[in-house]
Amino acid sequence: MPNIPRRHVGQYIASGDWSDYWTTRISRAESGKIWVRGYPIEELIEGLSYTESAYLLLRGELPDEREAALFDLVMRSGMDQQLISSAACAARYTASAFPDSAVPALASGILASGSVTGSPQEPAEMLIEAVGWKLEAAEAVQRVLEVWLERRGAVPGLGHPMHKGAEPRAVSVRKIALELDGWREHGRMLDAVEAGLEAKKGKRIPMNLAGAIGALLADLKFDPLVIGGLGAITYGVALLAHITEEIREGVPLRIIPEALGSRYAGPEERHLPSSRRRSEPSEPNQQ
């Protein structure tokens, strides 16, 4: 993708020339015709898979066979993981209150896809930064651990609340990526960081899915912003499955009762000072 500097509204106000203010290199449409990245859309619909089309949209060029296989691996890796993901819970919660359409709940789930819920953007940024240092592996690992343990107390892309020995999705992604020659410098950096953290902590903290696909997509030279978005998209179909199940079979207007962990931990009943009250608090009826 070309490295084009960002524009700003001031330059248009100063020049008075707004001719390229709304410009896109993605697609073009005229009466009866559509082109995507320069290709007639009918050729793409008839000749490409969904993954190849998505790759073209995001990168601007068609993938080769290796790139298409690796990108397809990423897109199918999210699947689902019961109700461990906060994104699924957010989506189902919204669906329970808004059962008329799947769209608001789908948006809620997407919005809950961040660094804590497993976005691959932060691991990718970490790995791209580490590879960019051009250090020996051991020195780069030490620096990664120092930077990220200081920055947020954890290393992105490693660890899982349930899978303590190995994250099954990450294992499969790494295995197939290696077979497809897709586990390159960023993948090897993640391997080294995983080993370095284990040596430092004295226990295994395995790579998770976000780390694995962050490394794979970084090796495919995707922008970290795109990588983060892809993390949400790969889980989108699972969210839709959860949403439709919630609407058709779930509990309208879900709540959190005490039996499921709702607990008040604030002060006991109290009242405003008399100077702040319009009247004395009413007393309970005496029998």
Give the model's confidence band at 285: pLDDT under 50 very low, under 70 low, under 90 confident, else very high. Answer: low
pLDDT digits (tens, 9 = 90+) for 131-179: 999 999 999 999 999 999 988 888 999 987 677 778 899 999 999 999 9
Average pLDDT over residues 109-121: 83
**In which domain, by residue range, is 8 found?**
1-47
How many domains does one find in the chain? Answer: 2
CA distances from 105 to 55, 91, 286 (A): 26, 5, 48
Compute how many other C-beta atoms are within 10 angstroms of the C-beta atom of residue 73. Answer: 20
Residue 130 clears pLDDT 90, i.e. is over it: yes
Q: 177 in a domain, yes or no?
A: yes
Please list, in sequence order, all residues whose beta carbon lies within 8 angstroms of the beta carbon of residue 161, skipping any fewer than 6 positions away: 84
pTM of the model: 0.86
pLDDT of residue 5: 83
pLDDT of residue 284: 57
- Cα–Cα–Cα angle for 253, 258, 264, rounded to 5 degrees: 105
Number of H helices, E strands in the chain: 13, 3
CATH number of domain containing 212: 1.10.230.10
Q: What is the dihedral of CA 220, 221, 226, 231, to 10 degrees?
A: 40
Q: 62 in a domain, yes or no?
A: no
Which DSSP string corresponds to 179-225? HTT---HHHHHHHHHHHHHHHHHTS---B-HHHHHHHHHHHTT--HH
